[in-house]
Amino acid sequence: MNYTDDSITNLKGIGPAKARLFNKLGLYTIGDLLEYFPRGYKDKSEITKIRDIMPDESCTVRVRAAGKAQEGRTRSRLIITKLTVFDDTGRLNAVWFNNRFIKNAFREGDEVLMHGKVKRIGKDLVMEVPEYERLSDSESINLMRITPYYSLTEGLSQKDIRKAVYAALKHAEKQADLFPEELRRKYGLAEINFCISNIHFPESMDKLKLARKRLIFEEFFMLQSGLIHIKKLNSAGQKGIRFKKTSEIKEFIEHLPFKLTSAQERVFEEVSKDMEGSGIMNRLVQGDVGSGKTVIAALALFKCVRSGYQGTMIVPTEILAEQHMETLTNLLKNTGIEIALLKGGMTGKEKQKVLEGIKEGKIDVVVGTHAIIQDNVSFNKLGLVITDEQHRFGVRQRALLSAKGENPDMLVMTATPIPRTLSLIVYGDLDVSIIDEMPPGRKKVETYFIDSAKKERLMNFVKKGLDEGRQAYFVCPLVEESDKLELKSAIEYSEELKNKYFRNYNVGLLHGRMKADEKNEVMYRFREKEIHILVSTTVIEVGVNIPNAAYMVIEDADRYGMAQLHQLRGRVGRGGHQSYCILISDTGNEIAQERLKYMTKTENGFEVAEKDMEFRGSGEVLGQRQHGLPGFKLADVFRDAKLLKLSKEAVEYIYENNKLSNEDYKKMKEILDQRFQKMLDEITLN
């Protein structure tokens, strides 16, 4: 939708000072203005005669000034300016407060449009602080129409933005439509210039609906097309590694201390097929907490090494790196596969030894943080890269990794349940495999929702578990006191637990402002059972594995999204002990209560994620720019699910079924190619 790259200072009335205010909203060019869609509308198109005005309701009147405005003061020195206006049915007083400019704004006989709420004061009708616009030959952009309302910044009014957008519409040349007429007819889409005009200044509510439908459809279509473009870019003219079909895999699986679930078998079959193919694997393995994703990683690494290549597993924190190192070492023992850990806390000598082992090919599998992609890490023969969801690498990172090997296969692991309607968009540039079955014998984490009145009983319940040798997490949202939210800080909360409830137990503290080595030290002591209770913010949300922890207590649970609560709950129930998640909240909000009650009914992460999106909308569920998803201007995946499905059909119609004529496809491709570079920057994480 990039109409023009001309600066907004080309528009009349926008000089350098005003341009800086627009810049605060991210508006630099004419194109930016035209894509700055309204946040809402008011229908001010109907003119009401003064005799028909209903007191205490808002209306628009077309009137003349009966004379000059009169100014007066109250005892408290408040300036009141009154202007009497009339139409052919009656009179009305318009009133402003402390506005020195109004007095000279009108002359007798001026024809004016006014909009505002009308009160009856005595015998008079009074419209307080109305919006107004002098009628002239030019079209009204603030009144006598369906009026747009935009998000503002200090110093800019609605009138300023409307005026600028209106001028931008006049300034810009007509845009070539991305969608050919045939496609627009097939999917009921309006023409692009009609849509841009009617999304800002709708001629009617029906035309506004048509404009919204087309623009939402186009947002979905552009993202999905962009992801297809990335897929092609990742593998264009590049051959991947053909890994061997090795019979040893079967033997390796048979010697595992557990039986694979049918879901794990299916997913590994999909991964194997990719690895044995000639293309470059870009696959996501999505599975709930405890579904056994790490086993899939171990099997893929085994296949990679047995084919003569090296593999690496990249995770966001050193704690996770150590955990994965331990798990993979156990799974791959007696296979002869050399595994090494690469982390920041190593001595120079230790690190150098690992780096040399990687370069010479003596180390088969490297586990570490994103430092693995740095220049000083040189692989002998890199074939497979497994990344954690928190480091979902984009095009640039993949290029850096590819340069370290022979176009290595990429496998992304995520424990964050993404609703099925969202995964198409969030992971559209990856092939998705879902482990939708839990290993047998895993105990359900019992979840309870209580208010703070039951806290004493809760503490005694946790104390009993601690005396039996278990450990507990206590989670609260903030590190420091906040006047706005009035939530207990983690620091104060840990002191309260230590001094009031758990005097004879070791209470540790973990929060986001601690340095990495401090966090590692606390987690090490918790893992070694030196700490009985860990008070933490949500830094423990992803990946921490302490099998002995059986209690997860979450204060002010209503402050979290359901998907986040589910991730926190996933920190317990990892050993053979019965585990519990207790959600504490005194909220009076019915929707918040309903969300928390739902958490007690299901442990299925996908069900939780779907419900979360239902309550909060897709943008809030994903979090701002999480997963590299560009923010939609109009679309919402949950609300606009039908248009998402329709746009997917259109993508298949064009790219898979080749239904467009050569001429239409060529024109469409030209427009898409112009936009894709910008899309790449928005879709991928830098």
Q: What is the pLDDT of residues 105-119, one digit of tens each?
A: 899 999 999 999 999
Is the model's pLDDT at 587 over the cut of 60?
Answer: yes
Is the model's pLDDT at 622 over the cut of 90?
Answer: no
Query: Is the Cβ–Cβ distance between 535 and 471 less than 8 Å?
Result: no
Token pair for residue 303? 């296949």
What average pLDDT does the structure give for the chain? Answer: 84
pLDDT value, residue 683? 44
Q: Considering the chain, what percentage of its residues have pLDDT values greater than 70?
A: 86
> Residue 240: which of 278, 209, 270, 204 has the closest Cα?
278
Is the model's pLDDT at 83 over the cut of 90?
Answer: yes
Other beta carbons within 10 Å of 273: 12
Is the model's pLDDT at 681 over the cut of 60?
Answer: no
Q: What is the mean pLDDT of residues 47-68?
A: 92
Backbone phi, psi, residue 278, to 5° = -85, -15
Instruction: Tell which wins on pLDDT, 328 or 626.
Output: 328
176-179 — which CB contacts under 8 Å span 24+ positions? 176/667, 176/671, 178/218, 178/668, 178/671, 178/672, 179/218, 179/668
Contacts of 401 (CB under 8 A, 6+ apart): 373, 382, 385, 393, 408, 410
Is the model's pLDDT at 338 over the cut of 70?
Answer: yes
Is the model's pLDDT at 628 over the cut of 50?
Answer: no
pLDDT digits (tens, 9 = 90+) for 669-679: 878 877 776 65
Q: To which H or E segment does residue 227 belong? A: helix 205-235
Q: Name the band, by pLDDT with cuts 50, 70 and 90, for residue 483.
A: very low
536-539 — which CB contacts under 8 Å span 24+ positions? 536/473, 536/474, 536/475, 536/490, 536/509, 536/510, 536/511, 537/475, 537/476, 537/477, 537/478, 537/479, 537/490, 537/510, 537/511, 537/512, 538/475, 538/477, 538/564, 538/568, 539/510, 539/511, 539/512
pLDDT digits (tens, 9 = 90+) for 350-406: 889 999 999 999 999 999 887 787 778 899 999 999 987 654 455 556 567 767 887
3-state helix, strand, coil in the chain (%, to 5): 40, 20, 40
Q: Name the band, by pLDDT with cuts 50, 70 and 90, for residue 543.
A: low
| Range of lowest pLDDT (91-100, 131-140, 327-336, 562-571) | 131-140
pLDDT value, residue 329? 92
Strands in 557-651 per DSSP E: 580-584
pLDDT value, residue 420? 58
The radius of gyration of the chain's CA atoms, rounded to the nearest angstrom, is: 31
Q: Name the band, by pLDDT with cuts 50, 70 and 90, for residue 480.
A: very low
pLDDT value, residue 339? 95
Q: Name the band, by pLDDT with cuts 50, 70 and 90, for residue 493.
A: confident
Q: Name the band, by pLDDT with cuts 50, 70 and 90, for residue 568.
A: confident
pLDDT value, residue 458? 95
pLDDT value, residue 53? 94
Q: What is the mean pLDDT of residues 532-537?
A: 89
* Burial class of residue 284, CB neighbours in 10 A (0-12, 13-18, 19+): buried
Q: Considering the chain, what percentage of its residues have pLDDT values greater than 90?
A: 41
Instruction: Tell which wins on pLDDT, 442 or 276.
Output: 276
pLDDT value, residue 321? 84
Q: What is the mean pLDDT of residues 200-217?
A: 95
Is the model's pLDDT at 230 over the cut of 70?
Answer: no
Q: What is the mean pLDDT of residues 228-251?
A: 75
Separation CA 605–CA 437 (nearest Å) = 11
Is the model's pLDDT at 145 over the cut of 80?
Answer: yes
pLDDT value, residue 624? 36
- The angle formed by the CA atoms of residues 232, 233 and 238, to the nearest 5 degrees, is 85
Q: What is the mean pLDDT of residues 574-593?
A: 89
Q: β-pairing, 124-128 with 111-121?
A: antiparallel
pLDDT value, residue 479? 47
Q: What is the mean pLDDT of residues 248-271?
A: 91
pLDDT value, residue 1? 45
Separation CA 565–CA 579 (nearest Å) = 15
pLDDT value, residue 240? 81
Q: Name the band, by pLDDT with cuts 50, 70 and 90, for residue 430.
A: confident
Q: What is the mean pLDDT of residues 608-616?
A: 73
Q: Name the band, by pLDDT with cuts 50, 70 and 90, for residue 666.
A: confident
pLDDT value, residue 391? 45
pLDDT value, residue 190? 96
Half-sphere exposure of 229 (CA within 13 A, CB side): 19
Is the model's pLDDT at 407 over the cut of 70?
Answer: yes
Is the model's pLDDT at 341 over the cut of 70?
Answer: yes
Contacts of 195 (CB under 8 A, 6+ apart): 210, 211, 214, 215
pLDDT digits (tens, 9 = 90+) for 275-290: 998 888 888 888 877 7
pLDDT value, residue 234? 58
pLDDT value, residue 103? 87
Question: Residue with structure tokens 């059986």?
Answer: 550
Token pair for residue 298? 């171990």
